[in-house]
Amino acid sequence: MAASSIPLGKGVKRKRHEDDGGQAAAEYTPQTFHCGTLLDISLLKLHQNCVLAERNLHRSVLIANTLRRLQAEIRWENGHNTMPSEMPLQPPEQLTSGANQLEPLSKMGEEITDLNNNIAKAPPPSLIEAPFCLLSGNDSSLSSAISTILQDLDYVEDLSTPLGQAPPEDDHLLPLKPVSPDPRPEPRSLDSIFTAFEIADSDDFLIDGSLDAIFEDIDTSMYDVPQGFPAGACPTIQPNKASRGIHSAKPHNSRTDFELENLMDLLVG
């Protein structure tokens, strides 16, 4: 595809190169799919992610956001004329540097602040318009999909940490973040997946103990012996390993030897 300096979708058709030989234009046949199927797929992925040892937060966030859109779509399809007002909203005047705002799925025309308190755009009308919906299932299949969601969300809720448990403040440097309003039951259980990523006292190990503060201006990492969990540098890995066992036997000599080796390093280059 040719480079384009025109923003996408501004009414300009992208054309193939002239020298392509007049081949038939690209046929983009969008895949039709059931919302319910997508919901099932998304939930399965989310559960797999929670179970996986890796616990990819990025992936979980993307899938969860997709799920929220699907939920909104299904709700609209079920005859809700208004936008889902139960979705948790952050008041625009609330300065939450660092707090994430939800997708602007709120009432039409209302200004929503995003990650850095910028006014986000109004939700695109295409999300709620009929032509956008690719559903082809009937009401009963939707109901069963929703039931599946609720059951699965209950399952996820059991596995996660108790709801309403606010994570501890992370760092004294950070501004205090305002408490969010009570979320709805459904997104709460969906969101509880993220509470599983919360680690209690996660940053305790970032703050040194009082004893270490005495030495905070001295980098002693070069002298740390790699036992268990090294906090600094390791001694140089020498190609000749014969002397390694001797170091532990005579500690006073090991330091002298280490200094000597450093000197030799300098000489040898």
Partner 1 sequence: MAGVGVVGGSGGANDLQWCFSQVKGALDEDVAEADIISTVEFNYSGDLLATGDKGGRVVIFQREQESKNRPHHKGEYNVYSTFQSHEPEFDYLKSLEIEEKINKIRWLPQQNAAHFLLSTNDKTIKLWKISERDKRAEGYNLKEEDGRYRNPVRITTLRVPVLKPMDLMVEASPRRIFANAHTYHINSISVNSDNETYLSADDLRINLWHLEITDRSFNIVDIKPANMEELTEVITAAECHPHQCNVFAYSSSKGTIRLCDMRAGALCDKHSKFFEEPEDPSSRSFFSEIISSISDVKFSHNGRYMMTRDYLSVKVWDVNMETRPLETYQVHEYLRSKLCSLYENDCIFDKFECCWNGSDSAIMTGSYNNFFRMFDRNTKRDITLEASRESSKPRAILKPRKVCTGGKRRKDEISVDSLDFNKKILHTAWHPKENIIAVAATNNLYIFQDKVN
Please list every residue from 30 through 69 that binds partner 1, using CB under 8 A: 30-31, 33, 38, 41, 45, 53-59, 61-62, 64-66, 69
Query: Which of the ranges 77-85, 135-143, 145-153, 197-205 carries the binding residues for partner 1, by CB under 8 A?
Result: 197-205
Report the sign of the C-alpha dihedral through residues 59, 60, 64, 65, in that order: negative
Contact status: 162 vs partner 1 (CB under 8 A): no
In the complex with partner 1, the residue whose CB is nearer, 70 or 152, is 70
Write phi, then psi, for 119 (nearest 5 degrees).
Answer: -75, 120
Residue burial 137-157, b: 16+ Cβ < 10 Å; e: rest: beeeebeebbeebeebbeebb
Rule CB under 8 A: is residue 10 a binding residue for partner 1? yes
Q: Is 262 in the site for partner 1 (CB under 8 A)?
A: no
Q: Is 3 in the site for partner 1 (CB under 8 A)?
A: yes
Binding segment for partner 1 (CB under 8 A), chosen from 75-83, 93-101, 136-144, 148-156, is: 93-101
75 lines the binding site for partner 1 (CB under 8 A): no
CB of 5 to partner 1, least distance (A): 6
Burial of residue 53 (number of CB atoms within 10 Å: 0-12, 13-18, 19+): exposed
Task: Tell whether residue 208 is a contact of partner 1 (CB under 8 A).
Answer: yes
**Nearest one of 32, 70, 66 to 49, comparing CA atoms:** 66
Q: Indicate the residue among 64 and 83 with the shorter CB distance to partner 1.
A: 64
What tokens does 92 get? Answer: 């625009």
Contact between 7 and partner 1 by CB under 8 A: the answer reads: yes
Q: What tokens does 3 get?
A: 């480079």
Min dist CB 110 to partner 1, Å, is: 17
78: contact with partner 1 by CB under 8 A? no
- Judged by CB under 8 A, which of 130, 211, 214, 264 binds partner 1? 264
Residue 238, token pair as written in the block: 């020498």
Going by C-alpha positions, the residue among 58, 89, 66 that lies closest to residue 182 is 89
Helix (H) or strand (E) holding 157: helix 139-159
